[in-house]
């Protein structure tokens, strides 16, 4: 096992890994354990020090800095926010929470599986898929075995009926189709990083079972589009209650507001609203 440490100015590892943007991290006695780019990783935090362990020496750790969003300056991000007491309170409640930069295929597949599912169920489905079809990854030896998230090529070869054994229900057809598109090269997720937001979003929404919300999750959590603003049931409810009390604006109006109000780091603002409302972190009065 090899180790490294990162000094961090403002970072909350638990909030970052457990705020609903990623689904595979598990908290065990010695830290948060997961798999990134086919490598087993254990992460822990003590004050301003993040500690990381892998099985084999990766040489450099740029991939992990990238994944964890260590280069994000949260003060600079918050400085772009509108002068808005609701958002300020939500951001304050989420101090140290960062956006992850996840692997695009895993992110896309995960959020296809997320529709009308609770997070515990999403985690169970993804865990089942990984154990069934993912590559075994060298781990610490103790504890359960580690698996990578299965690649699109692998899942493209699994029938819809078999996918349903992982309890994903009607989402199996959508996952199958997305895997086939990515595996064939008809959809190149990496290429989308360089595209305009609207173009990248349209490419994702061309997939069956991928609408605006799931597309924006992939754009925000894996492709670096910080303005993408996924509106799910939680965020929709929060926007309605916090910004439009005693009114009932149509969904279209909520979406327009989300695009206009929050600025170039709207996606981060969205994650603050999601996390703060879901975990009931807002102070009384909001």
Partner DNA sequence: AGCCAGGCAGAGA
Partner DNA sequence: TCTCTGCATGGC
122 binds DNA (CB under 7 A): yes
Neighbours of 242 (CB within 10 A): 18
Residues 91, 81: Cα–Cα separation, whole Å? 10
9 binds DNA (CB under 7 A): no
Q: CB under 7 A: which stretch of 2-10, 46-54, 130-138, 230-238 binds DNA? A: 230-238
CB of 73 to DNA, least distance (A): 21
CB of 213 to DNA, least distance (A): 4
151 binds DNA (CB under 7 A): no
Residue from 46, 59, 71, 118 in contact with DNA (CB under 7 A):
118
Residue from 142, 186, 246, 252 in contact with DNA (CB under 7 A):
252
- Which tokens sit at 246? 């005693």
280 binds DNA (CB under 7 A): no
Q: Which of 112, 110, 141 is nearest to 128 (CA)?
A: 110
If DSSP states are collapsed to H, E and C, what string results for 135-153?
A: CEECCCCCCCCEECCCCHH
- Which tokens sit at 176? 């199958």
Residues 6+ apart with CB under 8 A from 131: 145, 147
CB of 217 to DNA, least distance (A): 6
Q: CB under 7 A: which stretch of 49-57, 84-92, 112-120, 130-138 binds DNA? A: 112-120
Toward DNA, which CB reaches closer, 81 or 221? 221
Q: CB under 7 A: which stretch of 48-56, 74-82, 151-159, 166-174 binds DNA? A: 166-174
226 binds DNA (CB under 7 A): no
Residue from 21, 45, 130, 258 in contact with DNA (CB under 7 A):
21
Residues 159, 177: Cα–Cα separation, whole Å? 10
Residue from 271, 272, 276, 277 in contact with DNA (CB under 7 A):
271
Where in 177-216 is the site for DNA (CB under 7 A)? 205, 207-215
DSSP classification of residue 14: H
99 binds DNA (CB under 7 A): no
Q: Which of 123, 107, 124, 142 is nearest to 18 (CA)?
A: 123
Residues 123, 117: Cα–Cα separation, whole Å? 10
Secondary structure element (H or E) that encloses residue 187, with its range: none
Residues 6+ apart with CB under 8 A from 233: none
Residues of this chain that interact with DNA (CB under 7 A) are 19-21, 111, 114-122, 124, 164, 167-170, 205, 207-215, 217, 230-235, 250-252, 270-271, 274, 278
């Amino acid at each position: 096992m090899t180790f490294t440490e990162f000094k961090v100015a403002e970072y909350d590892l638990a909030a970052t890994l457990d705020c609903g943007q990623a689904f595979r991290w598990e908290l065990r006695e010695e830290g948060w354990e997961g798999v990134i780019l086919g490598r087993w990783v254990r992460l822990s935090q003590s004050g301003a020090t993040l500690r990381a362990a892998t099985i084999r020496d990766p040489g450099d750790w740029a991939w992990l800095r990238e994944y964890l969003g260590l280069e994000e300056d949260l003060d600079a991000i918050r400085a772009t926010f509108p002068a808005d007491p609701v958002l300020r309170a939500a951001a304050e409640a989420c101090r140290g929470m960062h956006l992850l930069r996840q692997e695009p295929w895993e992110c896309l597949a995960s959020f296809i599986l997320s529709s009308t599912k609770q997070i515990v169920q999403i985690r169970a489905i993804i865990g089942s898929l990984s154990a069934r079809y993912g590559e075994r990854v060298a781990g610490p030896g103790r504890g359960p075995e580690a698996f990578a998230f299965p690649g699109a090529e692998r899942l493209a070869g699994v029938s819809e009926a078999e996918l349903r054994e992982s309890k994903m229900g009607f989402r199996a057809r959508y996952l199958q189709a997305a895997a086939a598109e990515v595996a064939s090269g008809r959809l190149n997720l990496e290429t989308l990083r360089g595209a305009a937001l609207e173009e990248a979003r349209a490419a994702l929404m061309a997939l069956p079972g991928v609408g605006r919300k799931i597309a924006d999750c992939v754009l925000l959590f894996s492709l670096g589009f910080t303005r993408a603003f996924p509106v799910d049931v939680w965020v929709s409810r929060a926007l309605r209650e916090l910004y439009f009390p005693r009114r009932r604006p149509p969904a279209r109006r909520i979406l327009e507001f989300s695009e206009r109000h929050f600025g170039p780091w709207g996606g981060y603002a969205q994650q603050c609203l999601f996390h703060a409302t879901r975990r009931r972190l807002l102070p009384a009065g909001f």
